[in-house]
């Protein structure tokens, strides 16, 4: 995060050097656009057949495109009695709360892991990695009993809590990568110049770790948004989310499943595009993921 | 004007290694410039951070004008530290960096702007307001860091090697600038350096630190004329040492006996130290022994001879004209000016 590169360009950089720099800059812009277009193609491509499915009525081999089209699936999705929009809203709400909690807990945890040496640090690292390595199902089967006793099963708070099992480790790992490259002397310098603890957090720490927080939050959101097993087990069918709804239709009605998939994937694509500028290779957060 | 007192100040980072700062007692005079001098890793930065309130001492006390300030948070101490590695905030422009302290003090925006411009003129970087830190060279960043601290006119200014990245010419100008602002505003200033020449040129007093311990706290010339140990004399460099026994104002060495009224010890095993400038060749007076010239170099403003006295070799710095008088291999009387001899305790006995 801390950029200590020193450009030796003096006050009056010559015209040649400036031109050269501009050219390099424009290459970077071009590169970025190629990257974004690629990403977009990669993400949107799978949606195309899904969308075609959703509007097809008859589609048999060897026809490349459906022979008859119908808006039935989309009507089903939009009609209130299926409550697809309500479920989508539910899914988003759960994902947003999960993301917020991941940030709130993961940033301080990542800071502790990335910056400080303490006894038992290895153990903590393993405990954080465990839910990522051990299949979620195994973890949840253990947790399930506890949740029933605590009255958390079959409820939205319960689902939110169980989603934290996979998201929190990701957030913590991303942030520990960010903080490993972070020089806390910047905070001390700000304090020494007269900034309060709070002003230092806001003006110095936050801008430095922001890209990392965005990347971590993105992970958390997408993990929660697409969660199937954990939601099914803890939610017990009472808490409906898009993945649950979607899987229900996959065998019974592929056209509706296709329409739902589009609804399901679009927000993820939008979130990803909005944060794409933080996903470049020289981002310490992405580097942190590479360290795992 | 603030007097800074350190008493028994100690910092232990981990139990297994020796303290980074060990029982430091220091009386930093109000409105004066004090240099904290010592080799790398001797605890200079650690001491500064404790004074600034950025690091909690393991034990000991720090007071400003007699009142302990240990419980006061850094932003309220009135002590501003400039770090060794500048630490310009990368997300802010140069103007925002310099104005940071004033913004924290809720100074009105227009006034900040004018004072930032004045500061940029002062550090000779006019028109740099809208640049980003990474567009500046190391020396330029260092000057911005200095400006960012000076602008708040602190009571205590803590400078951690603020000139390390400047070339000789700029370094001289910045030294003068620091000195001028410091005296004009009467800011109590602590200045860290590992360059003894810089400390001598700039400071009113020098605190010399080895391994976290205070060796000598004195005016600059004292380190040349009356260093308290051989290590200190060696740190300032260029001195001849001859071991011997000191008794009744005379020191007896392997090459002869010398009158030596000035000493750091009362008697016993000791070391005669004499700077090359106080060694004269040719004239046979008191305090002389015969020596043989081994080699010489003509430097221009002076000449430097290496002379063997029995098993011992000493260096003499003389008038450049003397190269014409002596040849290598000549036997000459070598005189030690008795008022320039300084007798120190033996190296091993120190601490
Ligand atoms: N945060 C820390 N944790 C552990 N040890 C530290 C820490 N900071 C400094 N030290 C140790 O304390 C000692 C003094 O360090 P300090 O940074 O004060 O040296 P310095 O005199 O400023 O050196 P330099 O001239 O190289 O800047 C060193 O041995 C260093 O390794
Ligand atoms: Mg240091």
Report the C-alpha gap between B124 and B169 in whole angstroms: 13
Pairing of strands B21-28, B205-210: unpaired
ipTM surpasses cut 0.90: no
Q: Residues A186, B89: contact at Cβ < 8 Å?
A: yes
Domain shared by B215 and B251, yes or no: no
Tell me, in angstroms, the distance from the centre of ligand 1 to residue B29's CA: 25
Task: Kindly write down the DSSP assignment for every residue of B97-108, as one continuous string.
Answer: HHHHHHHHTT--
Residues 6+ apart with CB under 8 A from B240: B273, B274, B275, B276, B279, B314, B315
Q: How many CB atoms lie within 10 A of CB B152?
A: 22
Mean pLDDT lowest for which of A122-126, A248-252, B191-195?
A248-252
Distance from CA of B196 to the nearest CA of A (A): 26
pLDDT, tens only, B277-324 = 999 998 777 888 999 999 999 988 999 999 999 889 999 999 988 888
Contact residues of A toward B, CB < 8 A: 2-11, 183, 185-186, 188-197, 199, 203-204, 207-208
Distance from CA of A206 to the nearest CA of B (A): 11
> Is residue B155 included in any domain, yes or no?
yes
Q: Which residues of A touch B16 (CB under 8 A)?
A: none
Span A64-75, average pLDDT: 78
**Which token pair is B338?**
């008795």
Inter-residue contact B176 to B198 (CB < 8 Å): no
Q: Is B271 on the interface with A (CB under 8 A)?
A: no
Contacts of B238 (CB under 8 A, 6+ apart): B275, B276, B315
What are B311's two structure tokens? 């098993």
Q: Are B257 and B108 in a shared domain? A: no
Block residue for tokens 């399901």: A264
Residue A22 neighbours by CB under 8 Å, 6+ apart: none
C-alpha to C-alpha distances, A114 to A124, A127, A169, B161, nearest whole angstrom: 12, 15, 13, 28
* DSSP assignment letter at B263: B
Report the first-to-last Cα separation within chain B, whole angstroms: 35
To the nearest whole Å, the CA of A77 is away from the closest chain B CA by 46
B186 and B254 together in one domain = no
Tokens encoding B203: 């400071």
Gyration radius (Cα) of chain A, Å: 24
Q: How confident is the model at residue A9 (pLDDT cuts 50, 70, 90)?
A: very low
pLDDT band at A55; cut points 50, 70, 90: confident
Distance (angstroms) between ligand 1 centre and the Cα of B33 equals: 23
Q: Are residues B61 and B122 in the same domain?
A: yes
Query: Ligand 1 centroid vs B266 CA: distance in angstroms?
Result: 37
Q: Give CA separation, A55 vs A68, A151, A242, A254, in Å.
A: 9, 43, 19, 10
Number of structural domains chain B divides into: 2
Within 8 A of B53 by CB-CB distance, chain A residues are: 191-192
For residue B35, what are the β-bridge partners? B191, B206
B328 in the same domain as B208: no
Closest CA to B190 of B19, B24, B14, B325: B24
Residue B154 in any domain: the answer is yes
CA A205/CA A201 separation, integer angstroms: 5
8 Å CB contact of B53 and A192: yes
Q: Which residues of B touch A205 (CB under 8 A)?
A: none
What are B207's strand-pairing partners?
B36, B217
Task: State residue B103's pLDDT score.
Answer: 96
The lowest-confidence range among B10-14, B85-89, B318-322, B333-337 is B318-322
Distance CA B92, CA B136 (A): 13
CA-closest candidate to residue B145, choices B121, B119, B182, B126: B119
Tens digits of per-residue pLDDT, B217-230?
A: 999 999 998 999 99
> For residue B351, is it within any domain?
no
- Which among B204, B225, B246 is the end of a domain? B225
Provide the pLDDT for residue B6. Answer: 96
Q: Which residue has the higher pLDDT, B180 or B48?
A: B48
Q: Which of A46-50, B184-188, B305-309 shows the lowest per-residue confidence on average (mean pLDDT)?
A: A46-50
Q: Based on the domain organization, do B243 and B221 belong to the same domain?
A: no
Minimum distance, in Å, between the CA of residue B201 and any CA atom of chain A: 27
State residue B37's pLDDT score: 95
Residue for token pair 């008191």: B286
Whole-angstrom Cα distance, residue B158 to residue A192? 10
Task: Say whether pLDDT at B11 is over 80.
Answer: yes
**Is residue B61 assigned to a domain?**
yes
**Sign of the C-alpha dihedral computed for residues A8, A12, A16 and A18 taken in this order:** positive
If asked whether residues B152 and B16 sit together in one domain, one would say yes
A163 with A239: CB under 8 angstroms?
no
- What is the pTM (predicted TM-score) of this model? 0.79
Class of domain A74-290: mainly alpha
Inside any domain, residue B261:
yes
> How many A×B Cβ pairs under 8 Å?
78
Using a CB-CB distance cutoff of 8 angstroms, which residues of chain B are in contact with residue A6?
134, 136-138, 141
Q: How big is chain B, counted in residues?
A: 351
Evaluate: CB of B194 within 6 angstroms of ligand 1: yes
| Bridge partners, B293 (sequence order) | B307
Q: Which atom in ligand 1 lies closest to the alpha carbon of residue B194?
A: 25
pLDDT of A30 > 50? The answer is yes
Q: Residue B330's domain is classified under what CATH number?
A: 2.40.50.100
Q: How far apart are CA B175 and CA B236, in angstroms?
A: 20
**R_g of chain B, CA atoms, integer Å:** 25
pLDDT higher than 60, residue A145: yes
Average pLDDT, chain A: 79
Q: What is the residue range of B93's domain? A: 4-225
Tell me how far the alpha carbon of residue B191 lies from the centroid of ligand 1, in angstroms: 16
Overall average pLDDT of the A17-39 stretch: 65
d(CA B321, CA B296): 12
CATH code for position B160: 3.40.50.300
**Domain end among B168, B197, B225:** B225
- Which single residue is written with the structure tokens 């960010």? A178
d(CA B75, CA A196): 6
The two tokens of residue A82 are 């299926």
Has residue B137 been placed in a domain? yes
State whether the beta carbon of B45 lies less than 6 angstroms from ligand 1: yes
Does B44 share its domain with B186? Answer: yes
| Cα–Cα dist B162/B306, whole Å | 38
b/e string for A219-240 if b means 16 or more Cβ within 10 A? bbbbbbbbbeebbbbbbbeebb
- Whether B230 maps to a domain, the answer reads no
Same domain flag for B211 and B296 = no
For B241-269, how does the pLDDT look when each residue is reduced to its tens digit (9 = 90+)?
A: 999 999 988 999 999 899 989 998 888 89
Where are the domains positioned within chain A? Answer: 74-290
Residue B345's pLDDT band, with cuts at 50, 70 and 90, is: confident
How far is it, in rounded angstroms, from Cα A239 to Cα A87?
Answer: 9
* Same domain flag for B220 and B314: no
Q: Which of B172, B199, B225 is the last residue of a domain?
A: B225
Residues B137 and B85 in one domain: yes
Q: Give the count of beta carbons closer than 10 Å to the beta carbon of residue A41.
A: 9
Read off the pLDDT of residues B23-40 as tens digits, 9 standing for 90 and up. Answer: 999 999 999 999 999 999
Q: d(Cα A244, Cα A177) in Å, to the nearest integer?
A: 34
At residue A120 the predicted structure's pLDDT band, cuts being 50, 70 and 90, is confident
Q: How far apart are the first and last CA of chain A?
A: 18
- From residue B261, give the alpha-carbon distance in Å to each of B338, B339, B344, B347: 7, 7, 12, 20
Answer yes or no: is B30 within a domain. Answer: yes
Q: Rounded to an integer, what distance in angstroms lies between the CA atom of residue B82 and that of residue B144?
A: 10
The CA distance from B65 to B84, in Å, is 27
Q: Walk across the sheet containing B4-11 and list its strands.
A: B21-28, B4-11, B59-64, B67-68
């Amino acid at each position: 995060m801390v950029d200590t590169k020193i450009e030796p360009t003096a006050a009056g950089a010559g015209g040649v050097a400036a031109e050269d720099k501009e050219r390099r800059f424009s290459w970077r812009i071009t590169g970025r656009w190629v990257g974004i277009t690629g990403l977009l193609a990669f993400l949107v491509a799978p949606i195309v057949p899904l969308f075609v499915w959703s509007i097809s009525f008859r589609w048999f081999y060897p026809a490349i495109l459906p022979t008859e089209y119908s808006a039935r699936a989309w009507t089903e999705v939009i009609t209130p009695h299926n409550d697809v929009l309500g479920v989508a809203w539910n899914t988003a709400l759960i994902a947003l709360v999960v993301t917020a909690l991941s940030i709130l807990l993961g940033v301080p945890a990542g800071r502790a892991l990335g910056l400080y040496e303490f006894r038992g640090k290895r153990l903590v690292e393993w405990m954080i990695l465990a839910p990522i390595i051990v299949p979620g199902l195994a973890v949840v089967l253990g947790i399930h009993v506890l949740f029933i006793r605590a009255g958390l099963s079959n409820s939205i708070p319960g689902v939110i809590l169980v989603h934290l099992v996979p998201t929190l480790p990701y957030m913590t790992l991303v942030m520990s990568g960010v903080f490993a490259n972070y020089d806390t002397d910047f905070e001390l310098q700000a304090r020494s110049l007269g900034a309060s603890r709070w002003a230092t957090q806001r003006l110095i720490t936050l801008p430095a770790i922001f890209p990392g927080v965005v990347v971590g939050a993105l992970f958390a959101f997408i993990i929660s948004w697409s969660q199937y097993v954990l939601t099914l087990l803890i939610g017990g069918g009472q808490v409906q989310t898009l993945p649950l709804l979607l899987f229900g239709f996959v065998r019974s009605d592929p056209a509706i499943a296709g329409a739902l998939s589009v609804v399901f994937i679009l927000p993820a694509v939008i979130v990803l595009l909005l944060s794409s500028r933080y996903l470049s290779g020289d981002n310490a957060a992405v580097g942190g993921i590479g360290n795992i | 004007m603030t007097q800074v007192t350190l008493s028994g100040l100690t910092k232990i980072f981990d139990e297994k290694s020796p303290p980074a700062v060990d029982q430091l007692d220091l009386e930093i005079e109000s409105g004066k410039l004090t240099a904290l001098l010592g080799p790398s890793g001797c605890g200079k930065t650690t001491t500064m951070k404790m004074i600034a309130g950025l690091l909690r001492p393991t034990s000991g006390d720090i007071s400003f004008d007699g009142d302990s300030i240990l419980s006061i948070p850094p932003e309220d101490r009135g002590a501003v530290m400039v770090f060794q590695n500048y630490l310009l905030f990368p997300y802010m422009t140069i103007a925002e960096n310099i104005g940071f302290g004033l913004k924290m003090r809720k100074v009105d925006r227009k006034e900040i702007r004018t004072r930032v411009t004045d500061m940029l003129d002062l550090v000779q970087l006019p028109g740099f307001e809208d640049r980003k830190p990474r567009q500046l060279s190391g020396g330029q960043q260092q000057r911005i860091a200095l400006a960012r601290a000076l602008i708040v006119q602190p009571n205590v200014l803590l400078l951690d090697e603020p000139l390390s990245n400047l070339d000789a010419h700029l370094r001289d100008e910045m030294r003068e600038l620091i000195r001028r602002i410091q005296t004009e505003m009467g800011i109590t200033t602590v200045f860290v350096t590992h360059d003894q020449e810089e400390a001598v040129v700039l400071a009113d007093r020098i605190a010399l630190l080895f391994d976290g311990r205070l060796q000598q706290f004195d005016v600059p010339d004292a380190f040349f004329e009356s260093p308290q140990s051989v290590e200190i004399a060696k740190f300032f460099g260029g001195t001849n040492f001859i071991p011997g026994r000191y008794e009744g104002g005379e020191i007896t060495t392997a090459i002869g006996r010398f009158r030596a009224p000035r000493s750091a010890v009362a008697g016993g095993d000791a070391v005669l130290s004499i700077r090359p400038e106080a060694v004269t060749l040719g004239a046979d007076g008191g305090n002389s022994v015969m020596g043989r010239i081994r080699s010489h170099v003509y430097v221009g403003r002076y000449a430097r001879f290496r002379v063997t006295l029995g098993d011992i070799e000493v260096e003499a710095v003389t008038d450049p004209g003397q190269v014409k008088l002596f040849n290598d291999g000549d036997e000459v009387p070598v005189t030690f000016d008795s008022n320039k001899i300084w007798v120190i305790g033996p190296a091993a006995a120190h601490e």
